Structure 1
Amino acid sequence: MTSLRHRTLTLVLALLILGTLTISLYNFHDSGHEITEIYDAQLAQSARLLQGVVQMPLPEADREQLYTAFNNALSQAGRHKIGHPYEGKMAFQVWDLQGKSLVRSASAPVFEQLPSKPGFSELKIADVGWHGFLLPDEKNGLRIWVGERDDVRQDLVNRIVRHTLIPNLIGIVLLTVLVWLAIGWGLKPLRNMAQVIRGRHAESLEPLLLTPLPKELEPMQAALNRLLSQIGHLLQRERRFIGDAAHEMRTPLAILRIHVQNALEAKNETAREQALQFLLGGVDRLTRVVNQLLTMARVEPETARKDWHTVDVESVVRGTLAELTPWMLGKGLELSLEVAQGSYSVVTDAEAIGIALQNLVTNAANFSPPGGEVTVLLKDDGPTHLSLQVRDRGPGIDEAKLERLFERFYSRDNPNGAGLGLSIVEMIAKRLGGTIDLANHADGGLLASLSIPRDASAAPG
């Protein structure tokens, strides 16, 4: 794509040339019309002046001398130093009623047939076009014809057009230079912005603060600053993910190495089997940490897309619990679902709700006693929200530590937990525009309540 300067200059020049050609064509047409009107008026005026002269009451002998003097004077047209070259292209002729030529200029054409139509007419004589005016004088028995060669008028029109076009062409060239310079001056703030951006360090994500700035560039600066902010969030998220992964994996990897060494140095099969069992448990825990970190990265609110649709939350809950049931039975736990009467069709992210429920149930299972029960309750909380609750039958938690449960890698001294599940649920709740609350149940255990808005797509963030 060409530069803005070239695009703007091309558009301006195209409009300027189109406008100039339109005006020139109009001037050409209008000039031809006006020149025709002026010359026609001169022809008619000359015919009447000539009529007045030949009507003078003179004796016949004096009249002949007058005609001879007329002819002699008109024969000098275009030859004398004082005059105009166009004189030879204008003609006069007077006939009597019998067709006898009385007065005739030297430049007058030779008519094969005398004109008979009064007024203006176009004639073609000896391949030369003439525009004439015939004035009949029945009273004195005369026919007066005054004519002018067409090329005289056309030459004058061409001169006028040339005198109009040449200044216009010169003006277009000058305007091109001026418009080029003006556009360059107008685009100077854009060039300054580009220079500032090019001059910045690759790792500099500070917002642009260019002042003064034209109003047209303010949205661009705002968009760039928003993009820089998003990039900053992405880099921060990436660094946090790397830091979290390094923090959480350092110890398990060291422990795994110890278990491997123990297995290699085992003196008997029982010691080797025990070391391998510890190794298997460590691998499982590290797998859970990796899965949780990847889940957290996927649902990060700063980068999550809100391409959501109307879903049936009850169907999402039942499908998620169906997937978790074999795992829960393998742990010797019972999983139940209670659905209160109501409407559960909402605009939300079905996958995010499934992930949140999976983490809540997993967290409840980790703190449930053997043979315990985890209960999931879906409730209609009115026209704006619904709630998804998960309750375990564990020992609950100290009220002072409830807030810490949402901290990353805080697992309440549970060796099987990664400490990321509730952090993921909190992140999803913020993304959906809802809330997550934890409280000790009156009958024992911990109750987690996830509030979900019915139109999560309108939620900020």
Structure 2
Amino acid sequence: MSTLSLRRGLLLRLGVLMLVFSALASVVVYRMALRFADEAYDEWLLDSARSLSQLVHLKDEHVTVDLPGSTLQAFVFDAHDRVLFRIDDARDGLVSGQPILHAQPFGVQDVRYADLWTEGQAMRSVQIIRRDLVGHLVSITVAETLNKRHRLASRVLGTVMALSGVLCLLTVLLARDAVARGLKPLLVLTESIRLRRQGDLTRLPDAGVAQELQTFTNAINDVLGQLDKASQMQRRFIADAAHQLRTPLAALKVELEHAVREPDPDRHAQALAQLRGGLDRLSRLANQLLTLARAEPGALARSHFKPLDLHALVHQAAMRCLPAFLEADMDLGFEGEAHPIVLGDALLLEEVINNLLDNARCYAGAQAQVTVRVERDADRALLSVDDNGQGVAPDELSRLTERFHRPAGSARGGSGLGLAIVQEIAETHGGHLSISSLEPHGLHVLISLPLLEEPTS
């Protein structure tokens, strides 16, 4: 389904608002014009009633009206409206006029206007009371239909509507030009983005950008910054992975060629064993690279996380690693009574534990003691791994989470990805990693994760 352009949408909304305003203005103008017409023609009715009143006098104790035929004809003649009148004596009743015009009650007011309905026609009337005739109270009522009033109001309304139409047309034309000018910076910005080279993630310029577009450009620049950061991380990851894979692959090639050319069966078997060990290390490196890619920010949706018992998860992983520690003549201990619940991915958190324990086993040294702890502190779940091995030099602590970095003087080989993977996974779960030295020697690695809020009963 196609949507309106921004320009058409603005003009359409403006047109609708103007139509609504014009309709309301028409009603108001018509009412006001009718009111002014009423005021003008009410004055004419009052003048007519007063003129008629001057013809009323007493004759032989009776109210009479000196109204010649020519005067009567001139009085009731009107090219547009029907004019009626009647003169009533409070004592004797109708004195003169048309009986079809109903008699009005004698009130306390000397002048009173009223809206009437006579023979199916709406009429406007005025009644004046004469109290100066001795012994008589005389009512003079003059009424007319409303044709002239409505005609005058319609003419005023037509004139106003014509002017409003012209103003609306001019307004739409001016608004069209104003909208085009207002949208020009957006079109220029859109065109500059469209003409960018593929892979160009530089920030959009802020200079000269309208204030209303700054929020838009800032949001785009934020996205471009994130894309650029992700692109740099991807390029670095690919370069590092290629560098780390090239060396073991070259060594495997040399070992394979040596095994193929070796005629001695014992040396041939030894070469194959070395080749098998190299393949195992290469396989682990590839798995770690895949885990690192999976733990990258944005690679895993937090909506897939599930509540996990960190105590049970760590204990199971420690038990699986225990044979390897015994084989390396090392002591592995587990402490923790708390069962903190965290929200996360079980496979990634198991990878955290495996990497921490593998790191301790590789670098702590023979007969070292390694202790795993699970604790709860306020709203955080704490997982720590301590060892009393040789430790790490102070200037190396800050570099332990760098990818493919191994501390100087490491006794055993490794990819240098373990703690980098741990840090990425911890941050993906909203936690953080801290590493510090223990006295007199050893290493303390701490993972802090947010606790899952328990539902209140």
Give the TM-score band, short-chain normalised. Answer: 0.7 to 0.9
**Aligned equivalent of 1:365:** 361
Aligned to 1:154: 150
CA displacement at 1:239 relative to structure 2: 0.8
CA distance in 2, matches of 1:399, 1:133: 108
Q: What are the Cα deviations for residues 59-97 of structure 1, in whole angstroms up to 9, with x where unaligned?
A: xxxx97x7144256559x6xxxxxxxx645353656798
1:230 corresponds in structure 2 to 226
The equivalent residue for 1:178 is: 174
Deviation at 1:310, TM superposition (A): 8.5
Deviation at 1:277, TM superposition (A): 2.6
Residue 81 of structure 2: aligned partner: 89
- Aligned counterpart, 2:418: 421
AA matched with 1:201: R
Which amino acid is 1:67 matched to? P
Give the corresponding residue for 2:291.
295
Aligned alpha-carbon RMSD (Å): 4.4
The separation in 2 between residues aligned to 1:260 and 1:327, in whole angstroms, is 28
Q: Deviations over 1:245-301 (max 9, x none)?
A: 110111222233344445555657656544433332221111111122223333346
* Percent identity over paired residues: 26
User: How far apart in 2 are the matches of 1:418 and 1:369?
Assistant: 18
User: Could you say which residue in structure 2 is the equivalent of 1:375?
Assistant: 370
Deviations 1:82-124 (A, max 9, x none): xxxx645353656798999978xxxxxxx57464335646354
Letter in 1 for 2:253: R
Deviations 1:23-74 (A, max 9, x none): 32233234334433442342132111122145599xxxxx97x714425655
Alignment partner of 1:447 out of 439, 442, 457: 442
Structure 1: where are the runs of 5+ without partners?
A: 58-62, 78-85, 104-110
- Larger displacement relative to structure 2 (89-98 or 113-122): 89-98
Q: Which deviates more, 143-152 or 289-298?
A: 143-152
Matching residue's letter, 1:91: V
**Contact 1:429-1:436 at 8 Å conserved across structures:** no
Amino acid at match of 1:163: T
Distance across 2 between alignment mates of 1:143 and 1:298? 102
Asked if 1:324 corresponds to 2:321, the answer is yes
Kept in 2, the 8 Å contact 1:132–1:145? The answer is: yes
Aligned-partner Cα distance in 2 for 1:56–1:166: 55
Match of 1:107 in 2: none
404, 412, 434: which one aligns with 1:409: 404
SS at structure 2 position matched to 1:227:
helix
Contact 2:315 2:334 in 1 (8 A): no
2:57 aligned with 1:70, yes or no?
A: no
State how far apart, in whole Å, the 2-side matches of 1:429 and 1:438 are: 20
Aligned to 1:217: 213
- SS class of match (1:89): coil
For residues 128 and 46 of structure 1, what CA distance do their matches in structure 2 show?
A: 20
Measure, in 1, the Cα distance between the counterparts of 2:423 and 2:104. Answer: 104
Name the residue aligned to 2:435.
436
Residue deviations 1:335-358 (CA, integer Å, cap 9, x gap): 5224278x6748786766643432
Aligned twin of 2:25: 23
Q: Is 2:12 the counterpart of 1:6?
A: no
Give the TM-score taking structure 2 as reference length. 0.74
Tell me the distance in 2 between the aligned counterparts of 1:340 and 1:422.
23
What is the CA distance between 1:234 and its match in structure 2? 0.8
Label 1:90 to 1:56 Cα distance change in 2 as closer, same or farther (>3 A).
Answer: farther
Where do residues 282-361 of structure 1 align in structure 2 (5 Å cutoff)?
282-300=278-296, 313-329=310-326, 331-339=327-335, 345=340, 354-361=350-357
| 2:204 match: secondary structure | coil
After TM superposition, give the deviation of residue 333 of structure 1 in Å. 4.2
Bigger CA drift: 244-253 or 398-407? 398-407
Bigger CA drift: 428-437 or 182-191? 428-437
3-state SS of 1:216 partner = helix
Letter in 2 for 1:323: R
Of the three residues 238, 241, 252, the one matched with 1:242 is 238
Structure 2: runs of 5+ lacking an equivalent: 60-64, 106-111, 453-457
